[in-house]
Amino acid sequence: MAVIRGLRSQPELNGVPCIICGYDAARQRYGVLPQGRGERVALKPCSVVLEPGLTVRLRTGPESVRQLHAEIAEVLDDGARYALALDAPGAPRLIHVDADEVLVFFD
């Protein structure tokens, strides 16, 4: 789950919980289903605050880092940043990243 924030075109969706259904890499948008709504909405990653416990990958940085999966440990600055828990040899245990640097991992 996640929460929608910062929308100007559809402000009534701000604060609404949503389910992330997928990611369109070409458009760089999440497909989300807002709670209580019947249709999906395409949103930029910065408009979706991810909940702790979600598995994510980094969008930027060295290839070796982008291959790692991390778990959101904490939401910082009202969703502008995340503390990510990494579990990889030689990697820091906890890193802080901007929200636009992470993507939800889909199996």
pLDDT of residue 13: 96
User: Among 30-34, 65-69, 94-98, whose mean pLDDT is lowest?
Assistant: 65-69
**If you average pLDDT over every residue of the chain, what do you get?**
89
pLDDT in tens, 38-74: 899 999 988 999 999 999 988 877 777 777 889 999 9
> Which has more confidence, 5 or 89?
5
pLDDT of residue 17: 97
6 pLDDT band, cuts 50/70/90, is very high
Say which amino acid occupies 57. Answer: R
pLDDT of residue 29: 94
Secondary structure (DSSP) of the chain? -EEE---SS-GGGTT-EEEEEEEETTTTEEEEEETT-SS-EEE-GGGEEEPTT-EEEESSS-HHHHT-EEEEEEEEGGGTEEEEEE-STTS-SEEEEEGGGEEE---
Output the CA torsion sign for 17, 20, 76, 71. Answer: positive
Q: What is the arithmetic mean of pLDDT over 4-32?
A: 94
